[in-house]
Amino acid sequence: MKTLNLYGVEDIRYEQSPCPTIEAQDDVIIKITAAGICGSDLSRYKKLGPYIAGMTFGHEFSGVVEEIGAAVTNVKTGDRVAACPTHACGNCYYCNSGQPSQCEELIVIGSKVPGAFAEYVKLPAVHVIPLPPEVNDETAALIEPAAVVAHGFYRTQIKPGATVAVMGAGSIGLLAIQWARIFGAKRVIAIDIDKRKLDIALEVGADHVIDGSTAKPHEAILAYTDGTGVDLAIESAGSPVTSAQVLSLPKKGGEVVYLGIPYADIRIERFYFEKIVRNELTIHGSWNALSAPFPGKEWANTIHYMKTGQINGEKMISHHIPLSEGPAIFKQLTDRSIDAVKVLFHP
């Protein structure tokens, strides 16, 4: 089958790989319909390199069931599906405590097992989730990142009527804007330095946008919050700069959720760090999209809100690309020669 395999930093190759085969009774082989490039994929490509050289990359996808093992009952051949790409061991202290997102052996497909930038992928049946007809294949490829964002919101104490700031209007930030509405926010403020992304933020539900290249976010926020700050601030950019700035956005007693992954050291100026102490902030780290029972409420609820249209993925999808153009598109994303929000491969 045709695949995109990561060999090293900025070394991704379009090549032939063996098709997966049924080996266990609960195996499900899925023919990929659409697969998205995650921000973490791009960071690993340009900064970190593969866990295993030559591994088939990618983990956000939708598809159609091609073949099933003898014990599979939750899906059948021909079903349209999405899937949780994350494996938890099920046996460590954290898994046994009902916190699979903190599993000591957590792995995601595309790292140490073959991923979704391919024509086919294999997962255990418990990972595979049938899709309703109202959720199209392209939107379904965004279920995994949407579930990641939902996991972060579930960690907070957000109440109906809250004011939420989302720092970073990439795909995770745009999903966070929509989840903020679902969780009851009455006002959502998006912050970025990319005008196009800010325009999309307004389209998907932001009330106000702040261009961080022309205004200090913490000062601009005060104008929309009667001088107090927001109830909840979401860091979704993964930038060392925004990872510090986000601490200045909440009101006293407010909350911060870190969804972005900064692949560089963060140096926090005293001005920002003191906000944690002096404003008695609650800081949440959020990792992956799992809860008990596996894979968790994040997945079922994401699909529900996509079905109702309250999560709109189509406005976020900027490019539809054949898998053969994978090496070129990764290079273009790295050198920023294209203006992209969410790129989908269609094998």
Where does 156-285 sit in CATH, by number? 3.40.50.720
pLDDT digits (tens, 9 = 90+) for 229-280: 999 999 999 999 999 999 999 999 999 999 998 888 999 999 999 999 999 9
Structure tokens given for 311 = 């999560």
In this prediction, residue 263 carries a pLDDT of 81
pLDDT digits (tens, 9 = 90+) for 96-106: 999 999 999 99
In this prediction, residue 262 carries a pLDDT of 87
CA 74 – CA 143 distance, rounded (Å): 18
**Single pTM value for the model:** 0.97
pLDDT digits (tens, 9 = 90+) for 116-162: 999 999 999 999 999 999 999 999 999 999 999 999 999 999 999 99
Total length of the chain: 347
* Residue in the structure block whose two tokens are 């009902």: 98
CB atoms closer than 10 angstroms to residue 26: 18
Q: Where are the alpha helices (DSSP H) in the chain?
A: 39-43, 93-96, 137-140, 143-154, 171-182, 195-203, 217-224, 240-245, 270-278, 297-308, 326-335
pLDDT digits (tens, 9 = 90+) for 171-184: 999 999 999 999 99
Nearest to 272 by CA among 209, 312, 217: 217
Please report the beta strands in the chain, taking only residues with DSSP state E, as ranges in sequence order: 2-8, 11-16, 27-36, 55-56, 60-68, 80-83, 86-87, 107-108, 120-124, 128-130, 163-167, 187-192, 208-211, 230-235, 250-258, 282-285, 317-322, 342-346
Percent of the chain residues past pLDDT 70, beyond the cut: 100
Nearest to 216 by CA among 195, 240, 244: 244
Q: 291: helix, coil or strand?
A: coil
Enumerate the domain spans of the chain: 2-146+289-346, 156-285
* Residue in the structure block whose two tokens are 């104490």: 157
CA 252 – CA 228 distance, rounded (Å): 8
CATH class belonging to 2-146+289-346? alpha beta
CB atoms closer than 10 angstroms to residue 167: 28
Q: What is the dihedral of CA 21, 120, 329, 311, to 10 degrees?
A: -140
The β-bridge partners of 256 are 233, 283
pLDDT digits (tens, 9 = 90+) for 24-42: 999 999 999 999 999 999 9
* HSE-up (13 A, CA, CB side) for residue 193: 9
